[in-house]
Amino acid sequence: MRKRVLVLGGNFGGLTAALSVKHELQGDVDVRVIAASDRFLFNPSLIWLPFGKRRPQDITFPLAPTLTEHDVDFVHASATRIDAAAKRVTAAGVEYDYDYLVIATGYRNAMGAVPGLADTDGAYTITTLEDAIHAGEGWRRFLQNPGPVIVGASQGAGCFGAAYEFLFNMSYQLRRFGLKKHVPLTYVTAEPFLGHFGIGGLPGGERLLGMFLRKEGITAVTEVAMEEVVEGKLAVSGREPLDFAYAVIIPPFEGQDVVRGVPGLADEKGFVPVRDTYQSAAYPDVYAVGVAAAVSVPWTTAVPVGVPKTGFPTEVQAHVAAENIASQIRGKEPGRHKAFGEIPAVCVMDAGNNGVMILADRMLPPRKAGVLIPGPQSHGAKLLFEKYFLWKARHGYVRLP
C-alpha cells in the first residue's frame, strides 16, 4: 500500500516539503497539503507593500495549480485537530489519515506581548499580508498629518531583519516625500546591540548598522522591553515614553493552537521540539519545519530575543525532512541530519535603494566565517531573488537552489 504523507501548511516549508517528498520517491507516494490559505505568500516582500511598492497579487500565487501539476492533493481548510496517536488530522469536519505528518503551519503574532499593539490607532505590524495592508492604510493617513515615527522589534521577537528593512525603507520614503528633516525616526529593539539580528551578531555588524543609522539620522534605543502602546506613546523599560504618529513593531511569534493542543508535541509557545532530522522529539512519524519547529539558542540576553526562522533555513529543513521521510518509507532509518544552528546564514537586507548582504557559515555561533556586505547591489539582489523565488515556487521547482 502506498504511504500517505500529510503536510500542514503551504508556504515556504509546506510547499517545499510536499513537492520534495514526491520527488524523492519518484511519485510513488500519496501527498496531501492542508492549508488555511489557498495562496503562497512571499513574506520577505511585505516590507514594501505598505509603501505601495508591491500589491498583494505581486507577491502571491494560488497553490492549487502548482500542487495539482505535481500530483499533490490540496485541501483549502484549517486543521482543527491532530490525533498523533491515531495518525489522523481533522480539517473542515473531514478526517485525513496519514503515515507521516509534516507540520509547516508557520506562526501567529503574539500581539499580547506588547499591550495595546493590536488595537491602538497609528500602531501596526507587517508580518502578515493583512497586517501589511493595514499598515499601508495607516501610512497613507500619516502622509496627510506626519509626526514622529517608531520602527522596532519587541522583546521575544526574532524577525529582526524585517524590522531593519522596514526601518531603512521608511527612511528612504520619508526622504522621497520631503519629510526626512521634519520627522524624527527612532529604532527601538530588544537586541543587546545593533546588528545582533537574533543570531548573536556578526563581525563588524554593530559598527556597520551604527554607521547606517547615523547616516540616516535615525535614533536607536537598544536592549529595552516594550511595556505598552497607547495612542501616540510607546512605553519602554527604563526610559520615558516615546512619541509616535506612526509605529510599526515586529512582535514575537507563537505556534498554532492546533499544534499546541497535541499532548507532548509542542512547547509552551506552540512550537515543536525536533531532532536534527526534523522529527518531533515525541513522535518519530511527525516532522516540523520552519517557524513551527522550536529552536534553542546558545545564549541569554537581558531582554529576551528570539531567533529568525527565515525562508532559507526553512527550505533546508523541509528538504532534510523530505529525505528522511523517504528513507523511512523505504524501510531505512532517517539519515539526513542538519541542526538549525548549522544551517548557513544567507540573507539580503533591503534599504530602499541600498542594502546589506549577510553571509555566515552557520546560523548560530560558534562560527568560522561571517560577513556583512553593504551596497546598492544588495537592493538589486533582493529584487532579483524575489522574482526568481516566486517563479521557482509557482512552478514547483523546489530542487533548484
The Cα–Cα gap between 327 and 335 comes to 7
* Cell numbers at 228, concatenated: 505598552
Q: Are strands 226-230 and 233-236 parallel, antiparallel or unpaired?
A: antiparallel
Looking up cell 531603512 gives 168
Residues 6 or more apart whose Cβ sits within 8 Å of residue 214: none
The CB density around residue 100, as the number of other CB atoms within 10 Å, is: 25
Find out whether 71 and 27 touch, Cβ atoms under 8 Å: yes
Which residues are within 8 A (CB) of 105 and not within 5 positions of it... i.e. 6 or more apart? Answer: 8, 9, 14, 79, 255, 256, 258, 259, 292
Cα of first residue to Cα of last residue in the chain, in angstroms, is: 33
Closest CA to 24 of 330, 311, 289: 330
| Nearest residue to 218 (alpha-carbon basis) of 185, 242, 195, 244 | 185
Of the residues 272, 347, 360, 393, only one is catalytic, namely: 347
Is 159 in the active site?
A: yes
Extract long-range pairs of 380-389: CB within 8 Å, 24+ residues apart: 381/348, 381/355, 381/357, 382/44, 382/348, 382/349, 382/350, 382/355, 385/348, 386/42, 386/44, 386/45, 386/59, 389/42, 389/311
Backbone torsion region of residue 9, taken as left when φ is above 0, otherwise alpha when ψ lies between -120 and 50, otherwise beta: left
Task: Point out the catalytic residue in the list 159, 226, 286, 358.
Answer: 159
Q: Is 280 considered catalytic here?
A: no
Q: Report which of 173, 167, 234, 171 is spatially closest to residue 197, judged by C-alpha positions.
A: 167
Q: How far is 60 from 41, CA to CA, in rounded Å?
A: 5
Catalytic residues: 159, 347
